[in-house]
Structure formats: structure tokens, C-alpha cells
Amino acid sequence: MKRGSDRIFTTHAGRLDGPPDLMEMTREVQAGRMDMDALRPRVRSAIVEVIQAQAQAGIDVVSDGELGKVGFGNIAYYKRRFSGLSTKKVNPGEPQSMALHTGERIEFADFYQAEMAWMSAMVKERPICNGSVSFIGRSEVAEDIAFLKDGLAQAKVEVEDAFLCVLAPGWLEHFFYNEHYATDEEYVFALAEAAREEYKAIVDAGLILQVDDPALPDTYDMIVPTPSIEEYRKFAAVRVEAMNHALRGIPQGRVRYHICWGSWHGPHTHDLPLKHVVDLMLEVNAGAYSVEAANPRHEHEWKIWKEVKLPAGKILIPGVVSHATNVVEHPELVADRILRYANLVGRENVIAGTDCGLGARVHPQIAMAKLKALAEGAALASQELWGHSAHAD
């Protein structure tokens, strides 16, 4: 995994919106009015465009924008990749997923009723695991890899590296209720074993693997009633062990591990403080750790790095622009955020990133403005850290 030797590199958390026509076509597929096969050619060409847009904004380590992940996180998407998944009717009063029954949603019931009424009206089925999990998505991941590599070749832009995002076993677990395995631990390890094949294919193709794991801090509030910190750490430690089971034999230097507290726009008052899981995060066998660091619920947590030591050879990717606001951060503020981390963990150990995926969370025009501010802020920070100007074109 590349890092800047004379400047701060920039990246983001993965998800970006594609061109307007692709977004409309994607909605048609999700509504069942268009076949996925009809969408693929436009996905392929749109990936070229989104790579070019990232490079023009000044991003060094780019992704495919997750443009091919139509319905990412829902049953239709994952049934093409894993066996053993199905759905059943949602009973009255039963949540469709763990994420829809949390301490925060109980406290702010009026807000979430207003915000999520559309989802309640649409959701009729609960995704479940009702059989043995195995990986069946070889053609799917091969297509993801081919589309990104072809996009990089056709975009004709200079970037430092490229990554693909895949979900962690612990986050997959929360999407599909276990109705097959004797224990949840057995279930999450089965997911890890299956996900491993996708992880390995991405790394073997020469790309960076980003494992998205909001579950590490975020599942805390999905357990009702709320567990003690000690109880939750035991729960989370099992998921970290499963994560490393999936990553076994994969070079750490090719892996980025991303955590966040969910990308929805809500109060986040029930978020578990980073200090309670930062040591568990650092146990994951990854070369880089991507964390939220810009939104107003977590920006103060830069202070924990005064006490927590980043392991030798590892990279920290703090989010220095946020998906949680339409306000475009000033480059000087971005630079200040970067400098906090660089001064604590070493300038050579920082890549500047985003809190979470910008796609579907802010308007695409705002997302690109945020990426441009990210690059400009990184250039300002680099000038202060190395004493010379750095590109931000």
C-alpha cells in the first residue's frame, strides 16, 4: 500500500454517485423495471467517468464508486454471492433488520418515524440465513475487478492506487438473521470463510481490498437492551477474530479496514465512543485503518491518539471531510484536521480520507466539491509538514 513520502496522499471511503442517467437506470433496476444485464454496459462506462472525476478532484487512491453494487446490502445483491440466504415475511412489530431497532431509534422515535416512514411502507420481508453459507459469486467479483481495472486503463489519469470495497463478516451478519447455525459465533465464522474468497480475489488481482465494518462500533446500539461495555467488547472481539479468519494469508499491506457509525443522517447520540474499540480495531490484520474524524459527534476523538500508539508500519486514514453535512469544508480546516493526526502518528503514516461514503449521502456536485477541498487541504498540510508545495490539481 502506497503512502506519501513527501506529501499527504488522499483517498475516500468508497461510495460515490455515478452520472445522473446511471442513477436513474439503477433506480429502474431496483424497482424491477429493468434487468441488471441492461445496466452493465453503462456501469462499465460510468466507472471510467467516476475515476476521472476523482483524479480531477485531486484524489490519489481511487475506487469504482461502488457503481456496480446495485442494491448493495440487500438480499438480491447477496444472493448472487452467497448461498444459504433467503427472506421471510416480517411479522407485526418485528424489525426488518437489526439497524431498524436501536436505542437511538427508541429515544428519537418521532424523528425516525418521520424520516423512515417510507422504509416501513416498503419493507415486507426480513432477510435471513436459512442454510449453509458458501461463496457462489465468482463471476460477480470477477466482473467488479474487470470493470475497475478496465476503467483505470480507459480513464487515462494518474493515480497512486485503486481499491474495491467488500463488507466484513460482522456487518454481513447484521443484514441476515441467523436461522440456520447453532450459534451466532458459528454463523459469523461461516460468513468469514465465505467472504474470504472474495477478499482474496481482489488482492490477487493487484487491487487494494477495503473491508467495510461499521459493525465494530455500530452494533453496540443495535443490541437492545444496551449491553455493558465489557459485554460488548467480548461480543466485538469474536467478530474481530472472524475478521482475521477471513483475512488469513492475505498480505496486510493490501488491506484497508474501514469503521464508522453508520452513514445515515441522524443524531448519533448513542454511538459507542471510539476509545472502547480502538484496540480491537488495531487487532485486525490490515495495513491501514479508516475512521470517522470529521463529523461533530466524533471529531474530538483525535485526542485518543495521544495515548493509543499506531502499530509500526501501519497507516491511519482519518476522515477529514464528512458525509454528514452539505457544508463543504474549508481547505484550511481540512489541513488543520490532517495536521492533528500527522503530528500524533507521524506524517508518513497518514492518508487523508472521508468519514464514510459520500454517495447517496450528499448531492454528487457537493461530493466532488468535498473531494476537491480534501485534496486542497492535503496540499496545505503537506506544505507545512514537508516545507514545500504539493499538487492539488
Q: What is the reported pLDDT for 72?
A: 64
Handedness of CA 377, 379, 384, 389 (dihedral sign): negative
| Residue 11 clears pLDDT 50, i.e. is over it | yes
CA dist 22 and 24 (Å) reads 5
Q: Please state which of the ranges 37-41, 210-214, 231-235, 344-348 shows the lowest mean pLDDT.
A: 37-41
What's the average model confidence in pLDDT over 232-258? 98
CA dist 321 and 371 (Å) reads 8
Q: Which runs of E-coded beta strand occur in the chain?
A: 9-10, 61-63, 85-89, 125-129, 161-167, 177-178, 208-212, 255-258, 288-291, 315-321, 351-354
pTM of the model: 0.95
The predicted-structure confidence for 341-387, as pLDDT tens digits, reads as follows 999 999 999 999 999 999 999 999 999 999 999 999 999 999 999 99
Backbone angles phi, psi at 32, to 5 degrees: 80, 10
Please return the burial class of 186, using the count of CB atoms within 10 Å of its CB with bins 0-12, 13-18 and 19+: exposed
| Residue 119 clears pLDDT 80, i.e. is over it | no
The predicted-structure confidence for 56-107, as pLDDT tens digits, reads as follows 999 999 999 999 998 766 778 899 999 999 999 888 777 778 888 899 999 9
The predicted-structure confidence for 124-178, as pLDDT tens digits, reads as follows 788 999 999 999 999 999 999 999 999 999 999 999 999 999 999 999 999 899 9
| Residue 393 clears pLDDT 50, i.e. is over it | no
Task: Compute the mean pLDDT over every residue in the chain, rounded to the nearest whole number.
Answer: 94
